[in-house]
């Protein structure tokens, strides 16, 4: 009895099922209404077919779309049905780990463009990671710069010097948020009393040091840094798409340096290593997936930690104990099977009130994310994720060791999978069959040998003939390499855990404005559809590998984003078409089917609003996300669908578009501050043409229908086959959903839709109206 009690006290994590009875009943109620609408549609279809003409075509199209909406609802029901949360107890780690040992962690930060992702953004993320509450000798930070920017390297070198002051300051004063731009802007997070004179002097001195760091970074022009000699000589003449590997060890095993000792007594500050992998025009670099694989190999021959953390350059560590919370999940299960990786939800700092661009995704994570966590495990989100290195290396769980690499792989097997580097082969062997708590690679007198080995494995031709990008590392073949890699891990039989501590583990910046938001959604939807049409299709993984069926169906919730676009666009066009062509596709107010339609419309929106209120969000946030769903579907998802179709036909190639990151600052505003950051902005991108055309068409339909009603008042009763109240509500609802585009049609500057977009949209509307009225 005593031993059971002790075991309970030492439990590092608890899997807590979340009650959802009322929501399940609501799920079933909406499903019943969808099925009732389908039944009514089928029963009335023969009447419409008998009438012939446009009415029959409209009813068939509506039936197909409504059947698809029912399928999407079932997919979401499956994902939300069994939510769980994981409670972690890092204070118990010392009791549970008898020798106090924790596994080493290699931390990866990725950046790709110094203009879209300013170096200062990356620097704050790196500083927050270097100052984590974790044995510093067990942490190493690697920064991948796919922009091959001397300015980024310079910024990180300056940050390394600042870290020697910043990390001890954080440890001594118990700083809660260790990204300096947040700490100094809020003047919060210190455990010390603000009236403490010693603390105030230290705080003021550190703030001055940070402001000087910011000044140096912001004033470091790329051309001036490149012209420098010595440390930056390798950047001279280097082109971001054509250059050799550049690796800079900016901070490495400073335990012998008294100035680097921190208040925790660890004596060292984590290592910091800059990596810009080799790129050549003749070699495909595979975007972020390629960069992550290079970081994995470089870290494998340098430090070879058994745990890897990857974050985007703008996702700083908001909780200094995040690594300890992650260890509670990685070490807290009886079987490693249940924690192949540990994923933290993406959350955002400084978010605009009421989420005007619908990209803070709080409801998706709380409803779908917690639900998927109750299946085979949370999806890999591409940032804020702790991986077991051996899982990334393609090793299956202990229960499936007959698949893939055996416990004692031969040199030939490792050579085929991992490439020709002897250093990497030996490090992989130790990870696959070694001790998770071993000491990381010890310091060698000749650091040059490590760098040479790292340069060998980061060559752009190194992966040729190996399993990298397929069975090993991040998987190639999609712009959403995170989801694709997560699917491969789940298909191998691993389960995954959700990391959701309080305060949140990581915080990032959500894109603002129209172009940034839609670019992000387009990239995601393109990559997800690429997965669905590839050999990595979840159905194939469920049929021939170890992906659970319900997990397979859960992946479809996001994989079908782009496929939803043509169905939602078709349904949106039915209302304007019927008003213009004098047809109907919805039941009339006098028909019994109208009650089903009205109940479904109200029930779905009340259900959706209830989810937002349950997540402590406002009615305005619900409406903003609802209208953005319509906008994204008709723009980003639609273009993603067309992009993949053209790629499949061999007519084009997908292009990876980096989302602009907002420049971080300690100031509250300035001359360059946006007048209304929550207002939709536009550019000449093709992504704005379809929603602009749909906005114009909805306005035309409303005007056309109103004119017909007024002009037809003296001509008797309207045609029974003509549009009813449902079609007019559809057109009005579209105008409300696309209100940012209505404003864009009458605005100027970045808030106005460019004239070339308006012209192309107007031509589409004219063609649609002509076809609708053509007899």
Annotated binding site for Mn(2+): 288, 312
CA atoms within 13 A on the CB side of 703: 7
Q: Each residue of 562-580: b (16+ CB within 10 Å) or e?
A: bbbbbbbbebbbbbbbbbb
- Interatomic CA distance for residues 8 and 764, integer angstroms: 66
For the chain, the residue count is 775
Assess contact for 681 and 515: CB atoms under 8 A.
yes
Q: Please give the torsion angle defined by the CA atoms of residues 612, 618, 624 and 627, in that order, rounded to the nearest 10 degrees.
A: 50
- Interatomic CA distance for residues 339 and 331, integer angstroms: 8
- Sequence-ordered list of residues with C-beta below 8 angstroms from that of 404, at least 6 positions apart, any chain: 394, 395, 396, 471, 492
- Interatomic CA distance for residues 271 and 253, integer angstroms: 6
Structure tokens at 663: 């420049």
Distances (CA, A) of 98 to 88, 92, 93, 95, 101: 18, 11, 9, 6, 8
- Interatomic CA distance for residues 439 and 226, integer angstroms: 38
Structure tokens at 65: 């779309």
| Alpha helix positions (H), 52-179 | 53-80, 93-96, 119-130, 150-173
- Interatomic CA distance for residues 400 and 295, integer angstroms: 27
Q: CB 43: neighbour CB atoms within 10 A?
A: 10
Could you list the residues known to form a binding site, using ranges: 117, 146, 288, 312
Q: Is the peptide bond before 503 cis (omega within 30 degrees of 0)?
A: yes
Write down the catalytic residue from 27, 113, 253, 482.
482
Could you list the residues known to form a binding site for UDP-alpha-D-glucose, using ranges: 117, 146
- Interatomic CA distance for residues 681 and 690, integer angstroms: 16
Q: What is the DSSP string of 237-272?
A: T-BTTBB--EEEEEE---TT-GGG--TTS-----EE
- Interatomic CA distance for residues 7 and 272, integer angstroms: 38
DSSP state for residue 369 in the 8-state scheme: I
DSSP state for residue 110 in the 8-state scheme: E
Q: Scan for tokens 């780690």, then name that residue.
A: 93
Q: CB 658: neighbour CB atoms within 10 A?
A: 18
Write down the catalytic residue from 146, 253, 314, 559.
146
Q: Nearest CA to 516 among 750, 273, 718, 179? A: 750
**What are φ and ψ of residue 143, in 5° steps?**
-115, 120
- Interatomic CA distance for residues 246 and 252, integer angstroms: 17
Assess contact for 220 and 258: CB atoms under 8 A.
no
Q: Nearest CA to 579 among 414, 465, 709? A: 709
Assess contact for 344 and 500: CB atoms under 8 A.
yes
Residue 146 a catalytic site member: yes
Q: Scan for tokens 């001195």, then name that residue.
A: 205
Assess contact for 659 and 603: CB atoms under 8 A.
no
Assess contact for 497 and 374: CB atoms under 8 A.
no
Angle at 196 between CA 194 and CA 197, to 5 degrees: 115
List, by residue number, the catalytic residues.
Answer: 146, 482
């Amino acid at each position: 009895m005593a031993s059971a009690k002790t075991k309970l006290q030492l439990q590092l994590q608890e899997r807590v099922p979340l009650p959802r009875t009322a929501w399940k009943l609501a799920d079933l109620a909406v499903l019943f209404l969808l099925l009732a609408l389908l039944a009514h549609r089928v029963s009335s279809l023969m009447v419409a077919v008998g009438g012939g003409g446009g009415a029959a075509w409209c009813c068939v199209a509506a039936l197909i779309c409504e059947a698809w909406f029912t399928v999407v609802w079932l997919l979401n029901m499956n994902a939300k049905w069994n939510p769980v949360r994981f409670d972690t107890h890092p204070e118990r780690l010392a009791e549970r780990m008898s020798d106090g040992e924790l596994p080493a962690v290699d931390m990866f930060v990725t950046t790709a463009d110094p203009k879209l992702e300013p170096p200062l953004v990356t620097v704050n993320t790196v500083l927050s990671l270097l100052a984590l509450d974790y044995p510093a000798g067990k942490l190493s930070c690697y920064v991948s710069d796919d922009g091959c920017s001397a300015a980024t390297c310079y910024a990180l070198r300056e940050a390394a010097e600042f870290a020697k002051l910043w990390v001890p300051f954080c440890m001594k004063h118990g700083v809660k948020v260790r990204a300096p731009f947040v700490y100094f802007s809020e003047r919060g997070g210190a455990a010390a009393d603000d009236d403490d004179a010693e603390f105030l002097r230290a705080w003021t001195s550190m703030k001055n040091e940070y402001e000087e760091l910011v000044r140096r970074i912001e004033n470091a022009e790329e051309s001036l840094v490149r012209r420098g000699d010595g440390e930056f000589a390798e950047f001279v003449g280097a082109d971001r798409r054509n250059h050799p590997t550049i690796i800079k060890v900016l901070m490495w095993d400073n335990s012998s340096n008294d100035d680097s000792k921190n208040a925790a007594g660890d004596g060292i500050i984590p290592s910091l290593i800059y990596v810009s992998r080799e790129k050549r025009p003749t070699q495909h670099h595979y975007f972020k997936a390629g960069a992550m694989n290079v970081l994995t190999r470089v870290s494998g021959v340098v430090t070879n930690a058994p745990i890897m953390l990857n974050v985007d350059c703008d996702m700083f560590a908001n909780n200094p104990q995040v690594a300890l919370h992650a260890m509670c999940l990685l070490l807290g299960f009886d079987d490693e099977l249940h924690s192949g990786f540990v994923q933290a939800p993406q959350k955002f700092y400084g978010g605009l009130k009421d989420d005007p661009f619908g990209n803070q995704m709080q409801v998706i994570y709380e409803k779908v994310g917690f639900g998927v966590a109750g299946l085979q495990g949370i999806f890999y989100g591409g940032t804020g994720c702790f991986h077991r290195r051996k899982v990334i290396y393609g090793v299956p769980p202990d229960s499936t060791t007959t698949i893939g690499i055996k416990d004692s792989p031969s040199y030939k097997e490792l050579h085929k999978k991992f490439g020709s580097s002897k250093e990497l082969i030996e490090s992989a062997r130790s990870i696959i069959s070694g001790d998770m708590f071993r000491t990381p690679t010890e310091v060698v007198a000749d650091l040059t040998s490590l760098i040479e080995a790292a340069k060998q494995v980061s060559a752009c031709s190194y992966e040729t003939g190996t399993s990298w990008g397929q069975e090993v590392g991040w998987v190639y073949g999609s712009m959403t390499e995170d989801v694709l890699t997560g699917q491969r891990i789940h298909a191998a039989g691993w389960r995954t855990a959700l990391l959701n501590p309080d305060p949140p583990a990581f915080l990032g910046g959500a894109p603002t404005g129209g172009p940034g938001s839609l670019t992000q959604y387009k990239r995601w939807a393109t990559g997800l559809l690429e997965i669905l049409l590839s050999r990595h299709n979840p159905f194939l993984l469920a049929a021939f590998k170890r992906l659970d069926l319900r997990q397979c169906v859960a992946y479809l919730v996001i994989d079908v984003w782009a496929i939803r676009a043509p169905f939602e666009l078709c349904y949106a066009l039915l209302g304007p078409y019927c008003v213009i062509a004098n047809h109907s596709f919805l039941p009339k107010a006098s028909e019994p089917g109208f009650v089903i339609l009205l109940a479904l419309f109200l029930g779905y929106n009340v259900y959706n609003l209830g989810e937002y209120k349950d997540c402590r969000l406002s009615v305005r946030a619900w409406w903003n996300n609802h209208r953005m769903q319509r906008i994204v579907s008709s723009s980003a998802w639609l273009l993603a669908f067309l992009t993949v179709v053209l790629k499949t036909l061999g007519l084009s190639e997908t292009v990876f578009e980096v989302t602009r990151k907002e420049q971080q600052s300690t100031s509250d505003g300035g001359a360059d501050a946006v007048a209304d950051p929550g207002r939709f902005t536009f550019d000449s991108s093709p992504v704005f043409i379809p929603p602009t055309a749909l906005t114009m068409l909805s306005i035309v339909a409303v005007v056309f229908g109103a004119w017909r009603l007024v002009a037809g008042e003296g001509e008797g009763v309207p045609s029974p086959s003509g549009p009813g109240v449902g079609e007019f509500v559809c057109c009005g609802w579209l105008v409300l959903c696309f209100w940012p585009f209505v404003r864009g049609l009458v605005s100027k500057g970045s808030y106005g839709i460019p004239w070339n977009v308006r012209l192309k949209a107007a031509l589409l509307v004219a063609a649609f109206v002509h076809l609708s009225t053509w007899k």
